Amino acid sequence: MRKGAKTMAKLKSWRELPCGAIIDDPKAVLENKTGAWRGVRPVWHEDKCIHCLTCWIYCPDAAIIVKDGKMTGINYDYCKGCGICAAVCPPKTHAIDMEKERK
Amino acid sequence: MILAKTGNEALAYAMKQINPDVVAAYPITPSTEIVQIFAGYVNDGLVDSEFVAVESEHSAMAACIGSAACGCRTMTATASQGLALMHEMLFIAGGLRLPIVMCVASRSLSSPLNIHGDHSDSIASRDSGWMQFFCETVQEGYDTLIQCIKTAERASLPAICAVDGFILSHCLERIETFEDKAVRDFIGKWKPNWNLLNIKQPILVGPATMQDYYFEFKRAQIEGMNKALSVILDVQAEFKRTFGRGYDVIDEYRCEDAEAVALLMGSACGTMREAVDVLRGEGKKVGMVKLRVFRPLPHSILKESLKRFKTVAVMDRADAVNSYGGPLYTEATSLLYDLPQRPRALSYVYGLGGKEFTPLDAAMVLEQALKGSKDELVTYVGVR
């Protein structure tokens, strides 16, 4: 039996859906962990990071974890490996490298 | 107020009275004037609308979708290649159930390039989840556009109000307009189901859905179109009550004891009325059924109307290039299929690229329909 079958009972019928293709429960996206899509992963070097948070601004998901105004790591459950964080990291800082997911 | 207006002028004037929140559009013949005149209204401060000049029709519809998703009453206008360029965006507007209202000055599709009137553009968009209204006259275009706002918003579906390119878009007609206030009172205010900018109720618009939800969302959308006819009928009735004139989804002309009728849409219905009158004068039992609403297809009403005739000549101003018959022909014949006694149906394609369709052509169709048969499966009217 495929994995989804267990949860079928919880799925809504078309009559229960909101009008138009919208998700009215904003937390729903948390259930879809998209990290498995990743081909390359960002590797953060804490010692080099200047906490400018440019990566946090540019990340198209919400995969840069920030606490108390400081970068503290990457959320690999949702990071899809687009590489934008590494690209926008200031060149002299170079605190993020992209590495192949499978070597 | 009685005014002399071309189709484009009348639609732009109706848009001025509607005073939409946002108009995003790109010019294309023969609908250019609608946007051009409306941009003038914006410039002169006669409307409150935000006018977005975009770089293509694809962007125009994308901007309209964004605007409507933010709860703004949104309108646009296009034709032909412009509508074709919008194609993927049309489905998104339909799937999101956004009541965008679009004027289409119906025009052929390239190639070969042609700027004149036929229904190829809207017909090619028929499965995109938009309601489609085809107008016979400039007056009907003006009235229908006003109705479209209310119908679209109540049904949560986008709507196309189509007038035949040049034949209506550029021809001057005497039209009776309403006061601005009467129009605004009639359409009222739109209460959107949701609003992307409402930060108190955050939502995700246009999510990716997989095998577990895509079909359910589509089924809900399909139900919206299933229910749209009753909304159209309600709005038509309210329009008649308010303004003392109006339209039905189909219009039967001299059909009482008719044996043969022509079924068609758009401005050629006027030509057909002439031909019916002439043949009626000769004692021939002919009539016309005008189809005003193509999407949703008012199948029950149409079936009820057509079932009593001996022959129906189904006339398409677009060809499906399917080696069989025009889009209206295939739909009309399939809705007659399960009747115990079916009328015969004859297929005609006419007026592509604005080819003249004269009262004589119309009379030929009716005469053949009276005869009840013809040699070829599809007759291409007036083609050498």
- Give the other-Cβ count within 10 Å of B43's Cβ: 10
How does strand B250-253 pair with strand B286-291? antiparallel
DSSP-assigned beta bridge partners for residue A50: none
Q: In a structure prediction context, what are the per-residue pLDDT tens digits for chain A, which is 103 residues long?
A: 444 444 555 899 999 999 999 998 878 888 889 999 999 999 999 999 999 999 999 999 999 999 999 999 999 999 999 999 999 999 999 999 999 998 6
Listed in sequence order, the residues at least 6 apart from B192 whose beta carbon sits closer than 8 Å to its beta carbon are B68, B71
Instruction: Give the dihedral sign, CA B49/B44/B138/B84.
Output: negative
Asked if B91 has any chain A CB less than 8 Å from its own CB, the reply is no
Q: What is the pLDDT of residue B122?
A: 98
pLDDT (0 to 100) of residue A6: 47
User: Which candidate from B203, B220, B223 shows the least CB-CB separation from A24?
Assistant: B203
CATH of domain A34-103: 3.30.70.20
Q: Per residue of chain B (384 residues), what is the pLDDT tens digit?
A: 999 999 999 999 999 999 999 999 999 999 999 999 999 999 999 999 999 999 999 999 999 999 999 999 999 999 999 999 999 999 999 999 999 999 999 999 999 999 999 999 999 999 999 999 999 999 999 999 999 999 999 999 999 999 999 999 999 999 999 999 999 999 999 999 999 999 999 999 998 899 999 999 999 999 999 999 999 999 999 999 999 999 999 999 999 999 999 999 999 999 999 999 999 999 999 999 999 999 999 999 999 999 999 999 999 999 999 999 999 999 999 999 999 999 999 999 999 999 999 999 999 999 999 999 999 999 999 999
- Residues in A closer than 8 angstroms to B219, CB to CB, are 14
Min Cα separation B157/chain A (Å) = 9
Model pTM greater than 0.90?
yes
Q: Is there a contact between B109 and B80 (Cβ–Cβ < 8 Å)?
A: yes
Shortest Cα distance, chain A CAs vs residue B81, angstroms: 27
Is the Cα dihedral A11, A16, A21, A25 positive or negative?
negative
Tokens representing A78 are 């949702």
Residue B10 vs residues B37, B171, B332: alpha-carbon distances, Å: 10, 11, 31
- Main-chain phi, psi angles of A43, to 5 degrees: -115, 120
Question: Could you tell me which residues are beta bridge partners of residue A71?
Answer: A66
Contact A17 B194 (CB under 8 A): no
Residue B348 near residue B365, CB atoms below 8 Å: yes
- Domain map of chain A by residue range? 34-103
CB within 8 Å of B284: residues ≥ 6 apart: B366, B367, B370
What is the CB neighbour count within 10 angstroms for residue B248? 16
**Domains (range + CATH), chain B:** 2-243 (3.40.50.970), 250-380 (3.40.50.920)
Tokens of B314: 């189904």
Look at residue B70 and give its three-state secondary structure: coil
Chain A, residues 27-86, CB within 8 A of chain B, namely 28-29
Residue B286 to residue B304: CA distance in whole angstroms: 18
The verdict on B219 touching A (C-beta cutoff 8 Å) is yes
Q: Is A21's CB within 8 Å of B98's CB? A: no
